[in-house]
Amino acid sequence: MVKIKVCGITSLADAEKSLEFGADILGFNFYPPSPRCIAPEKAREIIAQLPRASFNVALFVNEPKARVNEVLAAGRLADGRQGYGGLQFHGEEDGGYCQGWDLKVIKAFRVKERASLNGLKDFPADYYLLDSFSAGYGGSGKMFPWEWLDGIDSSKVLLSGGLRVDNVVEAIRKIQPFGVDVCSGVEARPGIKDHGKLKEFIDAAKGA
């Protein structure tokens, strides 16, 4: 069954509802310009109250490795567990940067044209998040042409970009990705989830 990643978590209520409704992965954004950016200490407070099975991903954009390690250290819980199971790199990080981490690595590709996908096959990451190109590094909230993925192995793809309850079923059936990633499509406003939209989206994706 397709995995569902809910990104831009900024509150315990949004995290708990995401998991209650069936999300598999929660994303915590540490990119300061983003309206969904969360302080490492606040993220740790939220994660500490979630079930142990919660798979949490820390998102960074073009950060020095030392900063990434600082945030990961701040996410260590009282019982010694690391609060994060994965890293998402959403900037210009190259293959060398993305190697050598002890956590699962998701590398985001900002798809501006079909050629944007050329480096996907041999890039050293566990999963590839495909989002439409936008100025800056925020989520685009827009779709790219899905036919650009024809011939690409989608078993490691997290599809993002403009996914909503009214198109996620079509996306899953057409692309058959490992997972889908949603953020703005289930928000009441940037950083705050609309729990009704969130449930509808997850129900639709799980039923696709």
Active-site residue, from 98, 102, 126, 131? 131
Kindly tell me if the per-residue pLDDT of 152 is higher than 70.
yes
- Tell me yes or no: is domain 3-207 CATH 3.20.20.70: yes
Kindly tell me if the per-residue pLDDT of 144 is higher than 90.
no
Residue 203: per-residue pLDDT: 98
Q: Which helix (H) or strand (E) is 34 found in, with range?
A: none
pTM exceeding 0.85: yes
Q: 6 — phi, psi (to 5°)?
A: -105, 115
Q: How far apart are CA 113 and CA 109, in angstroms?
A: 11
> Is 102 assigned a catalytic role?
no
Q: Which helix (H) or strand (E) is 27 found in, with range?
A: strand 25-29
Active-site residue, from 7, 24, 181, 183? 7
Let me know if 194 is exposed, middle or buried by CB neighbors in 10 A (0-12, 13-18, 19+): middle
Looking at residues 175-186, what average pLDDT do you find? 95
> Is 7 assigned a catalytic role?
yes
